[in-house]
Structure formats: structure tokens, C-alpha cells
Amino acid sequence: MRDSIGDKVFFGINAALLSLFALSCILPLVHLLALSLSDQSAIASGAVSFWPSGLTAMAYEKLASGTNIVRATLNSFEIMAVGTALNLLFTLLCAYPLSRNLMYGRRFFTLAIVFTMLFSGGMIPGFLLVKSLGLVNTYGALWFPGLVSVYNMLVLRTFFVGIPDELVEAARIDGCGEWRMLLRIFLPLSLPVFVALGLFYGVGHWNAFFNVMLFIHSPDKHNLAVLVQQMIQSQQLMQEIGNLSPEDFTSLTPVSIRSAGVIVMVLPMLVVYPFLQKYFLKGILIGAIKG
């Protein structure tokens, strides 16, 4: 069936709007990349747009040698890896029993969990709770309070509910217990949803900022997001670098260093996302279908 003129106009307008939206997301990153690779004179004259002028990688060299960015990057990876693993484990253990008809009181527990999406204890009670548990200045303060995202748990639970009962009954006839059922039947079938939720959790941990500032007091434990914020908001970075030679001053500016820090922060997610995109799209669509 051929598209009508109205359909072609509609799809053309959609394509144009989506292209503009994509450019509004991509061009700022390209501009920051160009700034991080340009020398001082080009940046000061405003000659840098989306292509570096006076190509130099000194900003990245000074960022690595004069700041705590390597330690902060390792901290970010630790927070993301351990936090995402814990989130996925407990989200799975929460979603599976709530999806089974055999669980007594599952409706009550589901409503009680959904209630937490609407109301929370607040920041001060939350801080006092974390402090009373002895988690202040430890990464446990970042992992345990948000161990299960209610939204993500509901997405996974919805997918589990949609798995045919005939498959579950056949597995039970073959002698599958609950743990084996979860690991051999439900988990492999939910791989796209699981990867999509892992991406959600991972990005959240990688970009963690407020909770790190609230609970983590030691600078050596700060992650990359906090370091980049400090670079943008203050002159602390230039003071940490210090002892620049006259040649460095001619090719290095705070703008280029801060731009390099932002690029270093967003680069891992940009690299990982294309490999997970197919799981991300399929997982969200499958998890949104109610059985």
C-alpha cells in the first residue's frame, strides 16, 4: 500500500523534528570535544566551534597528571559495577515472587511497594537512617538505600506475569523448584528486559552526584561526576595542577581542561550504549506488555 501525501508530510515532519532533537544532543558534545583539543589562542578568539583549532591533547595530559581524575574514574566504575549488580539481583528477587500466583499476600506487598513511589521519608530522615547504620562515608550509602527501583521492578514483574503458565507447568512437571525455575526459565527469557534495567541502573550510578556529596566526605572516594562539578564551579582544578610552564600557559586554559573532564565522564556511556541498544529497545517494549 502506497503512502498518501499526508503520510509523507507527516513522516517528513517527524524526521525533521527528530533530526533537530538529535543534533541538539550531539552538537554540544562535539563542541566540548573541540574545545578540549584546541589551544588557548583559538579558544580565546572564539574560533572554535565544532572542529578543533590548534590541535593539542595537553588538556587530557594535565587532567591525568595534575588531578585526581584517575582515582575518581576508578571510583565511578566501582560504584557502578557493584551497585548495578546489587540492584539487578534484588530487583529480580523482588519481581519474581510478586509475579507468582502462589505467593500469599502478593497484592498487599505490591501495593505497599508502589506506595513508596508516592511518598518517602525525606532527605533528613534518610540521612539519619544511613548514619545510624554506619554507612556514612562508605559506598554502601549509595547502594543500599536505593537497592530496588520500584519502576524497574514493576517492569520486570510485568514481563514475568506474561510468561505462559503452560511453560511454568511443564517445568514443574520436570521437577523444577522455584530457584531452578527462576534461573533456568525466567532469567534467560527476560534477558532483554534485564539488560535494559541494568543500563538504567548503571547510568544512574555513573551519574550519581547528590548522594555522593551528601554521604561521601573523603575526597579520595569521590566519583567522576563530583570531580567534574568541582572543575566547572571553581578554580580548584587549576590550583591542583599548578606549576605550569610558560609553554603550557600558551596552549592550556581552564575551559579546555573542564571540557576534557566532561568528555572523559560521558565517553564510557557513549561507548557502551551502542552495544546494548538492541537489548534496550526490545527490553522496554517487552516489559511494557501486560500478560
- pLDDT digits over 25-58, tens only? 888 888 888 887 777 777 777 777 778 777 777 7
Element (H, E) at 48: none
Host H or E run for residue 46 = none
Task: In whole angstroms, give the CA distance from residue 288 to residue 49.
Answer: 41
Cell 544511613 belongs to 130
Tell me the three cell numbers of residue 123. 532527605
Nearest CA-CA partner of 81 in 198, 193, 197? 198
| Chain segment 222-259, per-residue pLDDT in tens | 888 888 887 777 655 555 554 555 555 455 667 777 78
Identity of residue 82: V
Q: Do the beta carbons of residue 40 and residue 251 sit within 8 Å?
A: yes
Quick: pLDDT tens for 146-193: 888 888 888 888 888 888 888 888 888 878 888 888 888 888 888 888
Report residue 61's pLDDT band, with 50, 70 and 90 as the boundaries: confident
| pLDDT number for residue 291 | 42
**Nearest Cα residue to 33 out of 269, 228, 261, 274:** 261
- Which residue bears the cell 584546541? 38
Query: Which percentage of the chain shows pLDDT scores above 90?
Result: 9
What does the longest C-alpha to C-alpha distance in the chain come to? Answer: 78
**DSSP label of 215:** H
Structure-model confidence comparison of residues 64 and 26, the more confident one: 26
- Give yes or no for a contact between 252 and 285, defined as CB atoms under 8 angstroms apart: no
502462589: which residue's cell?
102
Task: Show the domains of the chain with their CATH numbers.
Answer: 58-287 (1.10.3720.10)
